[in-house]
Chains A and B, each alone.
Chain A
Amino acid sequence: MADINFRKIDIDRFEEDVLLETDLYEADPRNPAQVLEAAKAKAASVRSSLSKGDILGSLVLVLEDPPYGPNVEEAKNLTLQTLVTVLNSTKSADIANVVKALSPDVQDSLMKYLYKGMAIPGWGDVSGSVLLNWHEKLTEAAGLGCIVRAMTDRRVV
């Protein structure tokens, strides 16, 4: 009998000119060790800026140049953890003003992390209600396009 699982055959193996995931975005020039170092340094400076109560500064610090791509799982998790600390320590009344003050690039980056957090409920200190609260305010400030960009961007955080 013919193999009925033909749909599961990896046809890309037979294609010489296959389009790889890595062709679709520019890779991070740093190596994984450097990325992890940077994430650790960021986590430390965010802690000190957070202790001064500077939510906006902390957010910008953690969201600028976030780690993306393969082989940097540890740095990605550390960054998410740092971000969640900032999100959790923000008073809900302040969220609207904070997200409005962010640059569009940082807003896009924040949206990616909100979706990442929602995809792993219960991980670390991730709280669904906090994320949804930020999501609502961020969508109001940055528009639907921000969500679309979080979905299309291959530089997955």
Chain B
Amino acid sequence: MAPPEVYNISQSPVTSHAFNGDRSQVAVSLNSNEVQIMQRAGREWKPVETLSEHDKIVTSIDWAPNSNRIVTASQDRNAYVWQQTPDPLTGRTIWKPTLVLLRINRAATFVRWSPNEDKFAVASGARAIAVCSFDPDNDWWVSRLLKKPIRSTVLSLDWHPNNVLLAAGSADMKARVFSAYIKDVDKRPAPSVWGEKLPFNTICGEYGSPAGGWVHAVGFSPSGDALAFACHDSTISIVYPGGPAIFTIRVSLPYVTLTWTSEDAIVAAGHDCQPTLLQGSPGGWQAVGSLDEGSGGAKGSAGASRVGTPGRLNSAAFNTFRNAADRGLASPGGAGAEGGDTELFTVHQNTITSVRPYDGVPGAVTRVSTSGVDGKLVIWEVSAMGALTGRIGGMRLG
């Protein structure tokens, strides 16, 4: 398996990242009120433009691959749609913002374009999701709010491939599937496992977190017939509403982000600092292994000691203390060069906050990108992961 491509793009956390259609540019927010557009230059990413219109921290970015529009959401309760237009003065192409009338009174937390790129949804702390569509008469984006029965901040969203259904994960410990049907934009969707008649704000599914935790991430499978959600109670659940069946997998530290790579595989990542591959079918699901395993990480030689230990606790410093506690070896006070090394053996050195498809088509994603609190952007290969299946017996993810 090819080693992951690792880019140190920032000293500060990467709050969000979104690639353009041909992956030559990436938009990132580096824990500030600005969005950086970076261009690939050989083995690194060079900042080429800064989008500054928000007043507070930008929480989420999405880049529509076909229409080449960027949407950003921020704690300042606003969202902007950015489009490339020639500057009337200089004639240079610049990114021009269009205001979105969100009508929310708390921070916007998450934003995603619909598959047809004619709508987007903004999650917010105002117990609401704003579903936005373009109003050509006034040249701005208008929103309709999904409110009931959301009881707390909405943390994540994902669109169904039919452009109508929307999944939302919320801090009230529920994952829900809504209809976000907009009359002027959408054609009537074909009946699916989620229902037949789908007027705006229909609740097509509601699923509680197994042991009470915020629902950090939601995702529809490529066909849209299954839903995965990851919660802060260190579980990830896969729902087949047609079955009906729910599979819950207990993991080490909680996942906060996930993406389906095919109809039978999910990559999830979070506080454990390493992306994990899960595989399954309507018959059952299991965690297969870490994409980080065997990649060498920060310290190639340490590979053998990594299996079965949470990434978060896998550093030379932690091992020194554990050996001291368990076996009375090497007093930590003696502080050899090895004992003072707090670098984790995983590629990411802190929580991974976003994992997104990078290469391939929906249903056959071959590479994914991750970004996190450590300021790294990493591109991982998933296609070769099938080889890992034989090693399940030796894995312990508990």
Chain A residues close to B by CB (< 8 Å): 17, 19, 23-26, 104, 108, 141-146, 148-149, 152-155
Contacts and interface: CB of A to CB of B under 8 A. Distances in A.
B212 A145 contact: no
Interface in B179-236: 208-209, 211-213, 231-235
Interface in B252-277: 252-254
A152 B398 contact: no
Contact of B398 (A25, A143, A154): A143
Nearest to B253: A144
Given A143-B397, A144-B310, A23 B233 contact: no
Nearest to A108: B211
B254 A154 contact: no
Contacts of A149: 211, 213, 233-235, 250
B250 A104 contact: yes
Contacts of B253: 144-145, 148
Contacts of A152: 209, 211-213, 231-234
B111 to A, nearest CB: 24
A145 B234 contact: yes
B212 A143 contact: no
Nearest to B127: A17
Contact of B151 (A19, A143, A148): A19
Contact of B172 (A24, A26, A108, A148): A24
Nearest to A141: B398
A97 B104 CA distance: 54
Interface in B138-157: 151-152
24 contacts: A17-B127, A19-B152, A24-B172, A25-B173, A25-B212, A104-B250, A141-B398, A142-B398, A143-B250, A143-B310, A144-B234, A144-B252, A144-B253, A145-B233, A145-B252, A146-B398, A148-B232, A148-B254, A149-B213, A149-B233, A149-B234, A152-B231, A152-B232, A154-B212
A130 B162 CA distance: 56
Nearest to B210: A149
Nearest to A143: B398
| Chain B: number of interface residues, binned into ranges | 20 to 34
A113 B10 CA distance: 43
B71 to A, nearest CB: 28
A107 to B, nearest CB: 9
A152 B235 CA distance: 11
B298 interface: no
A147 to B, nearest CB: 9
Nearest to A147: B234
- By CB atoms of chain B within 10 A, which of A26, A104, A143, A148 has the most? A148
A47 B209 CA distance: 35
Contacts of B313: 144
Nearest to A155: B212
B251 interface: yes
A153 B233 CA distance: 7
A17 B211 CA distance: 24
A133 to B, nearest CB: 14
Given A145-B252, A153-B212, 6 more contacts: A17-B127, A143-B396, A143-B398, A145-B250, A146-B398, A148-B233
A142 B152 CA distance: 31
Contacts of B252: 143-145
A19 B252 CA distance: 29
Contacts of B396: 143
Contacts of B232: 148, 152
B234 A148 contact: yes
Contacts of B212: 24-25, 152-155
A155 B173 CA distance: 13
Nearest to A154: B212
Interface string B34-64: 0000000000000000000000000000000
Contacts of B250: 104, 143, 145-146, 149
Contact of B173 (A24, A104, A142, A145): A24
A142 B250 CA distance: 9
A24 B396 CA distance: 31
Interface in B347-398: 396-398
A8 B193 CA distance: 48
Contacts of A155: 211-212
Nearest to A104: B250
Interface in B115-151: 127, 151
Contacts of B397: 143
Contacts of A23: 151, 172
Contacts of A143: 250-252, 310, 396-398
Contacts of B208: 26
A24 B251 CA distance: 22
